[in-house]
Amino acid sequence: MTIKQSFERLATETDTDIAIVGGGLSGTLAATILGHAGYRVTLIDRHRTVPEEFRVEKMSGGQIDTLQRLRLLGPVSAAAVAFDEVIHMRKGRMLDRTNDRQFGFLYNRLVSALRAALPANVNFVVGQVSGVQTGATRQRIAILGQDEMTARLLVLATGMGDILRRDLGISHRSVAEKRSFAFGFNLRPVGAKSLRHMALTYHGTSDGIDHMNLFPVPGGTRANLFVFRDPRDPWIKSLHENPKDTLAAIFPSLIETAGDFDIVGKVDSWLTDITIAENCRQDGVVLIGDAFQSSCPATGIGVSRLLTDVERLCTAYIPQWMAETAFDRAKIAAYYDDPQKQESDALALQLALHGRNLATNTDLRWRTRRQIHFMRRRAVHALEKLSPALATKLYRLAARYVKSPARSPA
Distances (CA, A) of 88 to 118, 203, 238, 246: 37, 7, 25, 19
Nearest CA to 381 among 371, 392, 369, 372? 392
Residue closest to ligand FAD (Cβ):
24
Nearest CA to 303 among 40, 128, 70? 70
Give least dist CB 197 to ligand FAD, A.
Answer: 19
Give residues in contact with ligand FAD (CB under 6 A): 21-27, 44-47, 54-56, 58, 128-129, 157-159, 162, 164, 182, 270, 289-291, 295, 297, 300-303, 306
Give least dist CB 309 to ligand FAD, A.
Answer: 8
Nearest CA to 81 among 52, 105, 54? 105
Per DSSP, the residues of 58-99 read EEEHHHHHHHHHTT-HHHHHHTSEEEEEEEEEETTEEEEEEE
- 29 versus 322: smaller Cβ distance to ligand FAD: 29
- 270 versus 366: smaller Cβ distance to ligand FAD: 270
Sequence letter at residue 200: L
Q: How far is CA 161 from the centre of its chain?
A: 16
- 46 versus 244: smaller Cβ distance to ligand FAD: 46
- 132 versus 391: smaller Cβ distance to ligand FAD: 132
What single-letter DSSP state applies at residue 51?
A: P
Angle between the N-to-C axes of helices 302-311 and 339-360, in degrees from 0 to 180, rounded to the nearest 10: 180
Give least dist CB 107 to ligand FAD, A.
Answer: 6
Helix, strand or coil, per DSSP, at residue 181: strand
- 198 versus 296: smaller Cβ distance to ligand FAD: 296
Distance CA 303, CA 290 (A): 9
Give least dist CB 77 to ligand FAD, A.
Answer: 16
Interior angle at CA 265, CA 209 and CA 182, nearest 5: 25
Q: Strand 93-104: give its sheet, edge to edge.
A: 58-60, 93-104, 81-90, 200-203, 209-217, 220-227, 171-189, 261-278
Nearest CA to 179 among 23, 336, 351? 351
Give least dist CB 370 to ligand FAD, A.
Answer: 21
Per DSSP, the residues of 33-45 read HHHHTT--EEEEE
- 125 versus 326: smaller Cβ distance to ligand FAD: 125
Give least dist CB 83 to ligand FAD, A.
Answer: 15
- 54 versus 228: smaller Cβ distance to ligand FAD: 54
Give least dist CB 212 to ligand FAD, A.
Answer: 12
Distance CA 242, CA 121 (A): 49
Give least dist CB 213 to ligand FAD, A.
Answer: 8
Distance CA 177, CA 85 (A): 34
- 166 versus 188: smaller Cβ distance to ligand FAD: 166
- 44 versus 254: smaller Cβ distance to ligand FAD: 44
Give least dist CB 399 to ligand FAD, A.
Answer: 17
